[in-house]
Amino acid sequence: MTNIRKVAEKAGVSVSTVSRVLNGHPYVREDKRRIVLETIKALNYTQNANAVHLSRGKTNSIGVVLPYLNLPYYGEILQGIAEEALKAGYHLRLYQTNYEAHAELDAFEALRMKEVDGLIIASRTNSLEELKGFMEGDRPIVFCENLESDCLLSVYIDHYQAMDRALSYLQEKGYRKIGLCIHRLTGRNSEERMRAFREHPGTEVRDEWIFTGCYHIEDGRRVLGEWMNLKERPETLVVTSDQVAAGLLSEAGRKGVSIPKDLAFLSFDNHPISELMGITSFDVPSRSLGREAFRMFLREGRQRTVLQTTLFERGTV
């Protein structure tokens, strides 16, 4: 293995000089710099990243914790993070969890082990209580959710307000019996949506009108079936993802359910598929969420950033 010492010897300088050249430090005479550079080339030398990381105490990489990699929502977040990371010379290390607690803890463990300089938690399953032990260090952890605590970094979509506006919109259109398709019932973001859903005045809510486990197109299909089997049906549905809404709409077409006459619904994300299928949807700035999360990690931002949603009216309400 050819290391910095070999380069130094061959070039007839000290390792520090080589190191200075490597790191673009000033105070290196031009001729020495040149000979070092030449020797490096001649020896086909490359720094050992792990040694650099160890010595410097940082790795220029950030961990991203997310449940799934094949959902557009997370794809967009990743894209946003990556855009900013690229600018700042950082790389992404992925911790895909499938919402398994231990896989998630792996990421926090990696943080403690200094494998990453910080963490962006796009979504989590462990409670803050369980994670507390890992939060002590000075390495930033950015949560993509509305955290009360002001000592935690949090950047999030205002899901409460979004849900609230969704319900008001449906009410304006005359709907009262409102159901919900949601990813899961746990997790701060879902809880915020649920809270808004339950607290909103003037709507009729029933537990059997709440459909959980909704992530994919297939889930939308399934939900339409379940909706049809209901003795008493909600007139309208709030769907927390375009994918699911698309499945719902498509299945409605097959089953002869007229949208929005028999069933109206609006969804969230405003991904291209919603425009494509004419689904009324709230734009969720997930790409920006990723960008902001990374900026916050770099401490360029504030302790807390809230992003708002925008309604795009189309044909499903």
Binding site for its own copies (CB under 8 A): 46-51, 53-54, 59, 61, 68-72, 74-76, 78-79, 82, 86, 91-96, 103, 109-110, 112-115, 216-218, 243, 246-247, 250, 272-273, 275-277, 287
- Residue owning tokens 């299909």: 221
Nearest to 246 by CA among 72, 60, 62: 72
Least distance CB 106 / its own copies (angstroms) = 8
Q: Applying CB under 7 A, does 5 fall inside the site for DNA?
A: yes
29 binds, among DNA, its own copies, none (CB under 5 to 8 A by kind): DNA
Spell 287-317 as b/e; 16+ CB within 10 A means b: bbbbbbbbbbbbeebeebbebebebeebebb
Nearer to its own copies, 85 or 170 (CB): 85
Amino acid, res. 86: L
Query: Please, which of residues 55-84 interact with DNA by CB under 7 A?
Result: 55-57
Which one of the spans 43-51, 96-104, 166-174, 194-202 is the region binding DNA (CB under 7 A)?
Answer: 43-51
Q: Phi and psi for 210 in degrees, rounded to 5?
A: -105, 115
94 binds, among its own copies, DNA, none (CB under 5 to 8 A by kind): its own copies
101 binds, among DNA, its own copies, none (CB under 5 to 8 A by kind): none
Least distance CB 238 / its own copies (angstroms) = 20
Cα 309 to Cα 312: distance, rounded to the nearest angstrom: 10
What sections of 230-278 are H helices per DSSP? 242-255, 272-277
| Helix then strand then coil, % of the chain, to nearest 5 | 45, 15, 35
110 binds, among its own copies, DNA, none (CB under 5 to 8 A by kind): its own copies
Q: Applying CB under 7 A, does 263 fall inside the site for DNA?
A: no
Cα 103 to Cα 67: distance, rounded to the nearest angstrom: 10
How far does CA 116 lie from the centroid of its chain? 17
Which one of the spans 52-60, 138-146, 162-170, 291-299 is the region binding DNA (CB under 7 A)?
Answer: 52-60
**Cis check: omega of the bond before 140, within 30 degrees of 0:** no
Cα 317 to Cα 170: distance, rounded to the nearest angstrom: 8
3 binds, among its own copies, DNA, none (CB under 5 to 8 A by kind): DNA
Q: Applying CB under 7 A, does 51 fall inside the site for DNA?
A: yes
Nearest to 143 by CA among 151, 133, 153: 153
Q: Applying CB under 7 A, does 19 fall inside the site for DNA?
A: yes
Nearest to 164 by CA among 123, 208, 194: 194
Q: Phi and psi for 154 in degrees, rounded to 5?
A: -140, 135
Among 38, 48, 88, 310, binds DNA (CB under 7 A): 48
Among 43, 47, 71, 195, binds DNA (CB under 7 A): 47
Task: Bin 213: left if φ > 0, else alpha if -120 < ψ < 50, else beta.
Answer: left
Nearer to DNA, 38 or 100 (CB): 38
What sections of 44-131 are H helices per DSSP? 49-56, 72-88, 101-112, 128-131
Q: Applying CB under 7 A, does 138 fall inside the site for DNA?
A: no
Please check whether residue 218 is in contact with residue 247, taking contact to mean a CB–CB distance below 8 angstroms. yes
Q: Applying CB under 7 A, does 89 fall inside the site for DNA?
A: no
User: Facing residues of 304 across strands?
Assistant: 154
Nearer to DNA, 136 or 207 (CB): 136
Least distance CB 20 / DNA (angstroms) = 6
Q: Applying CB under 7 A, does 42 fall inside the site for DNA?
A: no
Q: Applying CB under 7 A, does 288 fall inside the site for DNA?
A: no
Residues forming the site for DNA (CB under 7 A): 1, 3-5, 12-17, 19-20, 22-23, 26-29, 32, 45-48, 51-52, 54-57
